[in-house]
């Protein structure tokens, strides 16, 4: 599970963002919505440990993740947090399967090839495993991003605008996959979005103003 309390953040002592408190249990989903410029993606980056809050606590599985020193943040993120970002940031020279193997190797020192293949099969893209990311459609790349995020069986799954570049049919599929897989893996799912197509699908949501 993930929870926050009294989190604030500022870029170079400029605008101070007051982030709303959130709580999301394992296997549950919470949406963070709001207009552009209100700090949605900033909040997600704080939850992922890519940014450090000015004040407040961010707890993952009852551990104050935000207070960890920089040297331990990356390792904790690799083991406990799955990230689905707007840009996939694949290693372009590696195949789909190799990108997933690398995700597990960086976090654990082992290549979990069997788990990677199972995830690709679960996401209906096993036939794309030997292709380079550039050879995939946007929808297929999004599925690979989800597979990579789940490689280390995270406690928390964070998705930043996962449907923004998808048509209605694929947007529906991706949201269903994210929610189904978060329940299956017992991960708390936090989705940042301004996509009106999915806002009404969830009752647990925070609107940033």
Helix/strand/coil for 121: helix
d(CA 166, CA 174): 9
pLDDT of residue 44: 95
Residue 17 carries which DSSP code? Answer: E
> Tens of pLDDT along 96-144?
999 999 999 988 889 999 999 999 998 889 999 999 999 999 888 988 9
pLDDT of residue 196: 86
* DSSP-assigned states of every residue in 19-70: PPP-EE-TT-EEEEEE-TTSSHHHHHHHHTTSS--SEEEEEETTEEGGGS-H
Separation of CA 109 from chain center: 21
Residues lower than pLDDT 70 in the chain: none
The CA-based dihedral angle spanning residues 162, 163, 165, 171, taken in that order and rounded to the nearest 10 degrees: 140
Q: Do residues 121 and 181 make contact, with C-beta atoms less than 8 angstroms apart?
A: no
Pick the closest to residue 158 from 41, 11, 17, 4 (CA basis): 41
Phi, psi of 60 (to 5 degrees): -125, 120
pLDDT of residue 98: 97
- Domains of the chain (ranges; CATH) run 2-208 (3.40.50.300)
């Amino acid at each position: 599970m993930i929870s926050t309390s009294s989190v604030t953040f500022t870029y170079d002592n400029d605008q101070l963002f007051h982030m709303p408190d959130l709580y999301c249990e394992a296997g549950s989903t919470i949406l963070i919505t709001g207009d552009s410029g209100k700090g949605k993606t900033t909040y997600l980056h704080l939850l992922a440990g890519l940014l450090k809050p000015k004040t407040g606590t961010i707890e993952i599985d009852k551990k104050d993740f935000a207070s960890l020193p920089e040297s331990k943040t990356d390792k904790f993120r690799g083991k406990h947090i799955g990230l689905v970002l707007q840009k996939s940031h694949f290693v372009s020279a590696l195949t789909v399967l190799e990108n997933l193997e690398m995700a597990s190797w960086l976090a654990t020192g082992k290549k979990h090839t069997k788990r990677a293949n199972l995830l690709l099969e679960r996401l209906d893209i096993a036939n794309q495993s030997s292709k380079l990311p550039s050879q995939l459609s946007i929808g297929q790349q999004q599925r690979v991003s989800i597979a990579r995020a789940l490689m280390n069986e995270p406690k928390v799954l964070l998705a930043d605008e996962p449907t923004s570049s998808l048509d209605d049919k694929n947007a529906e599929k991706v949201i269903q996959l994210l929610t189904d897989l978060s329940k299956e893996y017992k991960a708390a799912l936090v989705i940042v979005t301004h996509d009106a197509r999915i806002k009404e699908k969830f009752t647990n949501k925070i609107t940033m103003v």
